[in-house]
Amino acid sequence: MRILLISGIVFVHVPFDPQTSPFLGANGFIDWVRVFLGDSLFRVGVPCLSAISGYLMFRRGLDAFDYGKTTRSKARTVLLPFLIWNLAFLALVLLTQKNGVGFGYLPDAINASPRELTTLAFAIEGFPINVPLYFLRDLLLCILLAPVLGILIKRYPLTILAIFFAYAVLPIPSGIFLKKSILFGFSFGIYVSLHQIDIRALDRHAVAISALFLAVAVMLATALYWTGPDYPVWIDMLRSLTAICGIIGSWAISAILIRSRLGQRLSRSEGLSFWIFCAHYPLLIAFWIVWNRAAHPGLYPLFYFSTPILALLILVISHNAAKRLTPKLHAVLTGSRTVRPNSTPKDGSETGTKRKNWSDTYSPEEKATR
């Protein structure tokens, strides 16, 4: 159900300026809803996506983990798409700013120093020009550290998770990571995978867990709304804590949604979710530039709620068109995440969009050993 997390991230990145900030309270309950969606509920996306990545990386165990093969694979499925999407957007920004468009909406790339331009291109010291792609940058760091993380979490799971939890929640420097929750989420996924935690055991409590998580998200949004945009330290810590706890909350919600026909269809749209993730930010910025030239600030709520829906529609259409018209390019842009249904690579691994159910893949004897 990653597509639901990524679609929620679209709401997180809807642009606004000081005149349209939700913390001004100019639109009452509508502004509270904006804080709830963008600063509370959908902030769970990044740590949850990190946990999924860590879980999948070690799903065959520590002994079967091939570092060389994994790094080569991730260079194709993570690094290459990051470079293409980010550098293409940077080139577009340079072109538009050269013609006097885009200043004030994006970093001043045309007058940036070589060091600043390098960071905008490769996220060396800060966020890339295509801001959401910081997740791929930090994920690559986690992948490079994966053998060390795997060994530590195998031997000292609770101690390591406690350290990473404190690192993610407490107001301490982030170091080499741009988003501290990514390291904890990735490590938590490794823990669940290596120690064979039965996460499906939570499914019977899915309704209660989902209700509790949503209640916490509502209370956090209310606290953020009344104290933002310059949150007290303890409120910022609560926001980080809620995002991390959202890993469990998101699982519970997905356990409910996956039972529906729509949920089943969405769960098979992995290539689309990656396309949305990489392409939504430039599209939102383009909408924002056009909106500011044509509309009154008082109509901003219309922009906020219509733009993500319009962006998602455009991205679904463009994804399907690219997949049909330029399948090879589409495969590169989505990190080779889609192949023909029922196709199986020579190494026997399942990478197609149509995967077998876990219970159908292994015999009872094999399940007992796994």
Do the domain assignments include residue 177? yes
Alpha helices in the chain (DSSP H): 2-12, 29-35, 45-57, 67-74, 80-98, 114-122, 134-144, 146-155, 157-169, 180-194, 206-227, 233-257, 261-266, 270-294, 300-325, 327-333, 358-361, 364-369
Supply the range of the domain harboring residue 122.
29-270
Closest CA to 267 of 258, 255, 256, 278: 258
Do the domain assignments include residue 36? yes
Do the domain assignments include residue 1? no
- Helix 157-169 and helix 233-257, axial crossing angle in degrees, nearest 10: 120
Q: Which phi and psi (to 5°) does residue 103 adopt?
A: -70, 135
- Can you read off the two tokens belonging to residue 70? 């994994």
Nearest 5°: CA angle at 338, between 248 and 79? Answer: 75
Cβ atoms of residues 136 and 127 within 8 Å: no
Give me the number of domains the chain comprises.
1
Nearest 5°: CA angle at 8, between 3 and 9? Answer: 95
0.85 surpassed by pTM? yes
DSSP of 123-175 = -SSS--SSGGGHHHHHHHHHHHTHHHHHHHHHHSHHHHHHHHHHHHHSS---T
Do the domain assignments include residue 103? yes
Which amino acid would we find at residue 122?
Answer: F
| 200 alpha carbon, distance to own chain's centre | 22
Q: How far apart are CA 317 and CA 325, in angstroms?
A: 12
Instruction: For residue 41, give Cα distances in angstroms to 36, 214, 318.
Output: 6, 8, 27
In sequence order, the 6+-apart residues with CB closer than 8 A to the CB of 227 are 235
Q: How far apart are CA 149 and CA 41, in angstroms?
A: 28
Instruction: For residue 254, give Cα distances in angstroms to 220, 247, 262, 312.
Output: 21, 11, 12, 20
Q: How far apart are CA 245 and CA 239, in angstroms?
A: 10
Q: Which phi and psi (to 5°) does residue 254 adopt?
A: -65, -30
Do the domain assignments include residue 254? yes
In sequence order, the 6+-apart residues with CB closer than 8 A to the CB of 141 are 176, 177
Q: How far apart are CA 355 and CA 318, in angstroms?
A: 25
User: Going residue by residue through the chain (370 aa), what tens digit of pLDDT does each one get?
Assistant: 788 899 999 999 999 999 999 999 889 999 999 999 999 999 999 999 999 999 999 998 899 999 999 999 999 999 999 999 999 999 999 999 998 888 889 999 999 999 999 999 999 999 999 999 999 999 999 999 999 999 999 999 999 999 999 999 999 999 999 999 999 999 999 999 999 999 899 999 999 999 999 999 999 999 999 998 888 999 999 999 999 999 999 999 999 998 888 888 887 776 899 999 999 999 999 999 999 888 777 889 999 999 999 999 999 999 999 999 999 999 999 987 654 444 444 333 333 334 434 344 444 444 443 4
pLDDT of residue 338: 56
- Can you read off the two tokens belonging to residue 317? 């259409």
Q: How many CB atoms lie within 10 A of CB 181?
A: 29
What is the chain's length?
A: 370
pLDDT of residue 270: 66
Closest CA to 94 of 82, 103, 85: 103
Do the domain assignments include residue 56? yes
